[in-house]
Amino acid sequence: METFTRKKPTEDTFEKRLSMLCWIKEALPHSVTEVTDANLLEENFSAERDVDCTVELPESRLDITNVLGALQNVKTKFEKSWQEPESSATNITTDQHALLALKDHITYDPANLLAKNWSMSSSICTWIGVTCGVRHHRVTVLNISNFGLAGTIPPQLGILSSLRVLDLSVNQLSGTIRSSIFQISSLERLNLSHNQLSDSFPSIIFNLPSLQVIHLGSNSLSGGLPSDIFNYLPNLKMLYLTSNMFDGQMPSNIS
């Protein structure tokens, strides 16, 4: 039990009325995360097996054969967990490549935020504007809004395959909206507003049914808007397209 709780029975937490065993029993089965060391939460360690082996009556304890079987299952899962970092490391390297490509496409960084902070000597998960997922340490949020950056959007952003939020708003980014962005199937929120992007409305955006918010306002986007946009984006809740150069009639379902 000390292994998965990272606590000792002699700690002040456990008074006479509350032993470590009782503490764990009270947490099972619905609050096991409250007694488990945070570093182990992503592994399937079995707290119930530890409790089963420490019941007061010997005849109520697990048979040694069952104990060995349970421990073997834990061992198998533990070994499997050590096989995951290899692929995860590759993905982290891929994400790093995408972010460094963005940094290289920035021609003006008035506060040197990326120049000083986005360094290969530190983990990308500590970089300013970057948020990573807890389990696989992939980039899930990229928010460099209002950094005053000038430059263009690189196609490599499309390889941030775990990205849920992309916010590059309130900068001076120019050029086109890269189609590779719309290959990120996990993307839920896209904010490229208040830049200098010039392009037609990207119909390839229909490849992202998971999108909930699209903010492309205050750019130089032109052309017409598809009338059936909401048919392809069933989860879309907010669509901001104001202050652009769109022509033609606005679809009736867009207010």
Domains of the chain by start residue, with CATH: 2-62 (no CATH), 90-246 (3.80.10.10)
For Cα atoms 159, 164, 165, give the angle at the middle one, nearest 5 degrees.
100
The structure tokens 């290969």 sit at 120
Separation between Cα atoms, residue 141 and residue 127, nearest integer Å: 11
Which tokens go with 248? 């033609």
Q: Is the pLDDT of residue 135 over 60?
A: yes
Tens digit of pLDDT for each residue in 17-72? Answer: 445 555 455 544 444 444 454 444 444 444 445 545 554 555 555 565 665 666 66
Give the least confident one: 50-59, 104-113, 130-139, 206-215. 50-59
pLDDT of residue 102: 98
Q: Judge whether 197 and 173 are in contact, CB under 8 Å.
A: yes
Express as a percent the part of the chain with pLDDT over 70: 62
| DSSP per residue, 27-95 | HTTTTGGGTS-GGGTTS---HHHHHHTT-SSGGGSPPHHHHHHHHHHHHHHHHHHHHHHHHHHHHHHHH
| Whole-number pLDDT of residue 44 | 45
pLDDT at 12: 54
**Poorest-pLDDT segment among 92-96, 150-154, 230-234:** 230-234
List the single range of 32-41, 112-121, 138-147, 195-204 with lowest mean pLDDT: 32-41
Beta strands in 82-218 (DSSP E): 106-108, 130-132, 139-143, 150-152, 165-167, 172-175, 189-191, 196-197, 213-215
Rounded CA separation 20/51 (Å): 10
- Residue 40's nearest CA partner among 69, 12, 91, 81 is 81
Q: What average pLDDT does this structure show over 196-217?
A: 91
Identify the band that residue 84 occupies on the pLDDT scale cut at 50, 70 and 90.
very low
**Quick one: pLDDT band at residue 232, thresholds 50, 70, 90?**
confident
Coil, strand, or helix at residue 224? coil
How high is the mean pLDDT of the chain?
A: 78
Q: Supply the pLDDT for residue 35.
A: 41
Q: What is the pLDDT of residue 251?
A: 65
pLDDT value of position 40: 47
Tens-place pLDDT, residues 94-118: 999 999 999 999 999 999 999 999 9
Question: Which residue would you say has higher pLDDT here, 218 or 80?
Answer: 218
CB 202 within 8 A of CB 180: no
Of 58, 45, 119, 117, nearest in space to 24 by CA: 45
Of 169, 181, 177, the residue nearest 197 (C-alpha): 177
